Amino acid sequence: MKRILLSGVALVLLPGAVLANCPNITVADMQGVSAGAYPNQLELSEFQSAASCEMNYSENPSIAALNSQIDGNGKLASVADRLPEEPLVIIPYASIGQYGGTFNALSNATEAGTSDFLSTRHTTMFRYSDDLQTVVPNVAKSWAWNDDFTQLTITLRKGHKWSDGSAFTSADVAFWYNNLMMDTNIIENAKDYTLAGGEPMVVTTPDAQTVVFDLAAPKPGLIETFSASFIQPFQPRAFLGQFHPDINAGADALAQAAGFESGYDVIRAYFGSSDWTDTPTMMFIKPNEVDNLPANTMPTLESHIIIAEDAEGRHLVANPYFHQVDTAGNQLPYINEQDERYVPDTEVRILKLINGEVTYKAQSVSLDNLPILLDNADAGNYSVDVNPGITMPVISFNVTSEDMAKREIFGDLRFRTAMSIAMNRDEINEVVYFGLGEPEQFTGITPLPEFIDAKWKSHETGFDQDRANALLDEIGLVDADGDGDRDLPNGDPFVLNIQFSTQAHSAQLMEIAAQNWVDVGVASVVKEVTSDEFRSAQSANQLDVTSWGQGGTLGVSMGSNQWYVPPFGTYFDTRTGMLWAEWVDSDGANGVEPPEYVKGMMVDINILQSSAPGSDGQIGAGKRLVEAMASNLLFLGTVKASEPVYRSNDLQNIVQFKTTSYDFYRTYPYNPSQWWLSE
């Protein structure tokens, strides 16, 4: 009897002991709970076993009101039903947040200057953690490569739902790839990131939570696409598929009933024919027809969803079906609403910033605004962090210039070396960047991975006018007519025609560099032009000297070979060796044959892209690439600047970023979904 009683009590009590609520751990105070497989986050089962607890969910008290503002959403189920069976547990950095508040954002226009705001709600398969080196899961629960990087298997979360409550499954990933990316009615030319080895991938879905990507050639960089970019490789099949002729036979009829010409029109209007999430929504482009449609914008997996849009801005509310929770079981995001306003003029943006009207901003805030921002920081209740950037302004000479005499000079390494050491980078740093930057040489891959010798960063960056003069004399650029400027070996005057755009870097930088070169006898004509004029003159091979901001991470190079194959940049960067590019594209029929080191770089970038990360092949190729780029000075590095980040003092759980840059997709590595606003 006693035994039955005792065991009965034990039976009652023991589960009670296991059913303790999970501790509210934060990154600052882990309360002795051991970290999971990935930093700053845990899978539900990991957390529950590590802390011996069971998680109880709670939701935003205003979520029902917010949900009613989402067009097409019905009544809300309970929070436990809205979350996946295994939600992602995000460990907040400093504190468990409080629900509420409106996040105020500024962009330049509907699709310009928006990416740092977009990144605050962005969600994709994986993410780079805040050390910018570890890839961690987000929407996906786990992934696995096969041995030679030709097959990627991704496992999703069971019970994960779209923002309208419908189920999110592997079929949505397959829909994105097969019916949107590969459908020429929506995207005419397949995008580079959807191909492997130039061929489409084969996407199959063995079950509702598993997606398999089969590639024609090894592409370890595919992970990069799903973790560090704006691309979201999934779209709602149930919602969009009803308008897709390949999926629903009655798609066109349905579209016409709503006032569109065809099903594809509806899809294009919703999806915008691009994976960018700032393309205008149906509310903006078809305000008359939008009421005939089931919802005014597509369902999303992001932390917030757009509920209103016009020419002046957008308004968003929290997504009731978001798949992340914090360690106390609160469904994220904490912030109720987001309001984005468009302000095209720089000075007005600054005024709004110093008036404290904005919660967070990094893009389009430059270092020369730093003094005025710092002056008003107390009154405006905000702080400014300054973090290193990733790209830096580089200057390059046209090595395949139409003018043969100049081509010979620019092609001579001694000339480029002389120009590099004639530049007083410390002066540029002092005048343009308040001394906060770092003079650096261009190495292609930045930041320089540890396995590459750091000496390349300071290769030929010293200031040595005597040596520069000696080198220039050596190659035959002497002052023949005594006017103080050097002339070409054939006697003609030697004048550099420099055009630049202030979108790339400040005018002062170019002014100082040109003056430094005048000091060693190289005359130049400096002219500021618009970005369009710069690009077309560059494409037409008309410029002597070009400049832009250049540089990207190792991850970028794994996915794209643009820095190492002539013309060493895209249409929108600075390029040189245009005629070498012609030679490469035409397989030797036209253009000018590039020198051996360029061919070597082209071989090495292929090796880099097809080797496993961390393998000897990749390390060797990386070293050779950096050596070739830096020692040949195709691009002269100037000063790697830091960039400011503006944040309101009311914004909590925000950490200092390691870099202020587009790479890794801006705020995405720093878990913006766990930011909250104190009043």
Partner 1 sequence: MLQFGRFALTRAIMALITLLIVSIVVFSLMELVPGDCAERYLSYKQTQGVAVSMADIQSERVRLGLDRPFFERWSTWVVGAFQGEFGDSCILRVNIAELLGSKFWISLLICVSSLVLAYAIAIPVGIIAASSRNAFLNNSLRIVSYLGLAMPNFLLALMIMLVATVYFGETLTGLFSAEYRDAPWSWARFVDLMKHAWLPIFILGWSATAFALQTVRALMSDEIGKLYVTAAKARGLYGAKLLWRYPARHALGPIVNSLGFDLNRIFNELPIVALILTLTEAGSLLIDALAKSNDQQLAGAIIFLLTASIVTLNFLTDLLLAVMDPRIRKSILR
Partner 2 sequence: MNISTKNIQDSKESYFTASQSQLIWARFKKQRAAMIAAGVLGFIIFIGIFAPAISPYDPTIAGRDKDYMNGAPQIPSFCDKNGCSLRPFLHGVERTRSAETNFRWVEEPNEDIRHYVELFSEGAKYDLFGLIPMDTHLFGMQDADKKIHIFGTDSSGKDIFSRTLHAIFTSLQVGTLGVLISFVLALVIGGVSGYYGGRLDSVIQMVTDAVRTIPAIPLVMSVAAFVPSEWTAEQRFFMIAIILGLIGWPTLARRVRTHLLTERNQEYVLAAQLCGASSSHIIRRHLLPSFTSYIIVDLVISFPYMVLTETGLSFIGLGLKDPVNSLGVMLQNVTKADVLLNYHWYFIPVLFFIALVMAFVFVGDGLRDAADPYGESKK
Identify the sign of the CA torsion 282, 284, 289, 290: positive
Q: Measure the CA dihedral 132/138/140/141, to 10°.
A: 100
Between 246 and 368, CB nearer to partner 2: 368
> 């009311």: which residue's tokens?
650
Which two structure tokens, joined as six digits, stand for 334? Answer: 């904490």
Is 288 a residue that touches partner 1 (CB under 8 A)? yes
Residue with Cβ nearer partner 1 (93 or 284): 284
**Does the protein bind partner 2 through residue 431 (CB under 8 A)?**
yes
Using CB under 8 A, which of 54, 289, 403, 511 touches partner 2?
511
Per DSSP, the residues of 86-146 read: S-EEE--SS-------EEEEEESBTTBS-HHHHTTT---SEEE-TTSS-EEESSSSEEEE-
499 lines the binding site for partner 2 (CB under 8 A): yes
- Indicate whether 398 belongs to the interface with partner 2 (CB under 8 A): no
x/- site string to partner 1, residues 237 to 276, per CB under 8 A? -----------------------------------xxx-x
Residue of 254, 285, 351, 478 interacting with partner 2 (CB under 8 A):
351
Q: How far is CA 98 from the centre of its chain?
A: 29
Selection from partner 2, partner 1, none that 451 binds (CB < 5 to 8 A by kind) is: none
> Is 645 a residue that touches partner 2 (CB under 8 A)?
no
Give dist(CA 271, CA 279) in Å, integer.
Answer: 8
Taking CB under 8 A as the rule, does residue 372 contact partner 2? yes
CB-wise, 229 or 652, nearer to partner 1?
A: 229
Token output for 340: 């984005």
Residue 527 found at the interface with partner 2 (CB under 8 A):
yes
Applying the rule CB under 8 A, the residues between 500 and 529 that interact with partner 1 are 503
Residue 5 in tokens: 């009683």
User: Residue 204 is encoded by which pair of tokens?
Assistant: 């199959």
Judged by beta carbon, residue 427 or residue 585, the one nearer partner 2 is: 427
Closest CA to 642 of 357, 352, 369, 372: 369
The secondary structure of 305-351 as a DSSP string is: EEEEEETTEEEEEE-TT--EEETTSBBSP---EEEEEE---HHHHHH
Q: Which of 12, 16, 78, 347 binds partner 2 (CB under 8 A)?
A: 347
- Among 35, 216, 374, 612, which residue sits at the site for partner 2 (rule: CB under 8 A)? 374
What is the total count of residues that contact partner 2 (CB under 8 A)? Answer: 33
Residue ranges in 140-159 that form contacts with partner 1 under rule CB under 8 A = none
Question: Least distance from C-beta 530 to partner 2, angstroms?
Answer: 6
How far is it, in rounded angstroms, from Cα 610 to Cα 642?
33
Distance (Å, whole) CA 585 – CA 591? 9
Which residue of 48, 185, 465, 508 would you call a contact of partner 2, by CB under 8 A?
508
As a whole number of angstroms, the distance between CA 232 and CA 302 comes to 10
Residue in 38, 100, 200, 352 binding partner 1, rule: CB under 8 A: 352
274 touches partner 2 (CB under 8 A): no
Q: Which two tokens stand for residue 68?
A: 């009613």
666 CB burial (10 A radius; 0-12, 13-18, 19+): buried
| Environment class of 679 (CB within 10 Å of its CB; exposed 0-12, middle 13-18, buried 19+) | exposed
Task: Report, in Å, the least distance between residue 679 CB and partner 2.
Answer: 27
- Token pair recorded at residue 592: 């000018």
Nearer to partner 1, 437 or 569 (CB): 569
Q: Is 643 helix (H, G, I), strand (E, B) or coil?
A: strand
Instruction: Select from 460-468, 536-544, 587-595, 661-669 the region that touches partner 2 (CB under 8 A).
Output: 536-544
Considering only residues 469-498, where is the footprint of partner 2 by CB under 8 A? 497
Nearer to partner 2, 191 or 527 (CB): 527
DSSP H/E element including 210: strand 210-214
Q: Tell which residue, 117, 125, 165, has the closest CA to residue 143.
A: 125
Which residue, 40 or 194, has its beta carbon nearer to partner 1?
A: 194
Distance CA 663, CA 329 (A): 31
The yes or no reply on residue 378 touching partner 1 (CB under 8 A) is no
Cβ 567 to partner 2 shortest distance, Å: 19
User: Is residue 218 close enough to count as binding partner 1 by CB under 8 A?
Assistant: no
When binding is defined by CB under 8 A, the residue of 470, 572, 603, 649 that contacts partner 1 is 572
Q: Which stretch binds partner 1 (CB under 8 A): 74-82, 83-91, 277-285, 613-621?
A: 277-285
x-marked contacts with partner 1 along 387-426 as a string, rule CB under 8 A: ----------------------------------------
Of 274 and 383, the one with the shorter C-beta distance to partner 1 is 274
Query: Binding partner of residue 311 among partner 2, partner 1, none, CB under 5 to 8 Å per kind?
Result: partner 1
Report helix, strand or coil for 71.
coil
Determine the angle formed by the axes of helices 413-422 and 465-474, rounding to 10 degrees. Answer: 160
* Residue 155 contact partner, candidates partner 2, partner 1, none, CB within 5 to 8 A by sort of partner: none
Ramachandran bin of 102, using left for φ above 0, alpha for ψ from -120 to 50, beta for the remaining angles: beta
Q: Choose from partner 1, partner 2, none: what does 527 bind? Cβ within 5-8 Å by kind.
A: partner 2
Contact flag: residue 525 with partner 2 (CB under 8 A)? yes
* Residue 381 contact among partner 1, partner 2, none, beta carbon within 5 to 8 Å by kind: none
Contact flag: residue 323 with partner 1 (CB under 8 A) = no
Q: What distance in Å separates the CA atoms of residue 7 and residue 97, rounded to the nearest whole number? A: 41
Cα–Cα distances in angstroms (integers) from residue 184 to residues 171, 189, 260, 566, in the given order: 20, 7, 19, 29
- Please state whether beta strands 495-500 and 523-528 pair in parallel, antiparallel, or not at all (unpaired): parallel
Residue 520 engages partner 2 in binding (rule: CB under 8 A):
no
188 in contact with partner 1 (CB under 8 A)? yes
The pair phi, psi for residue 252, each rounded to 5°, is -65, -40
Residue 357 within binding range of partner 1, rule CB under 8 A: yes
280 counts as binding partner 1 under rule CB under 8 A: yes
> Binders of partner 1 among 443-482, rule CB under 8 A?
none
Task: Pick one of partner 2, partner 1, none as the site partner of residue 588 (Cβ within 5 to 8 A by kind).
Answer: none
User: Among 653, 676, 678, 677, which Cα is nearest to 130's?
Assistant: 653
**How far from 608 is each of 143, 215, 216, 224, CA to CA, in Å?**
22, 17, 17, 14
- Piece of the chain touching partner 1 by CB under 8 A; list 87-95, 306-314, 450-458, 635-643: 306-314
Does 542 interact with partner 2 (rule: CB under 8 A)? yes
Q: How far from each other are the two terminal CA atoms of the chain, in whole angstroms?
A: 59
Q: Footprint of partner 1 on this chain (CB under 8 A)?
A: 109-115, 188-189, 191-192, 229-230, 272-274, 276, 279-280, 284-288, 308, 310-312, 343-345, 347-348, 351-352, 354-355, 357, 503, 530-533, 535-536, 560, 562, 570-572, 662-663
Q: Footprint of partner 2 on this chain (CB under 8 A)?
A: 347, 350-351, 354, 368-372, 374-375, 427, 431, 434, 497, 499, 502, 507-508, 511-512, 514-515, 518, 525-528, 530, 533, 537, 542-543
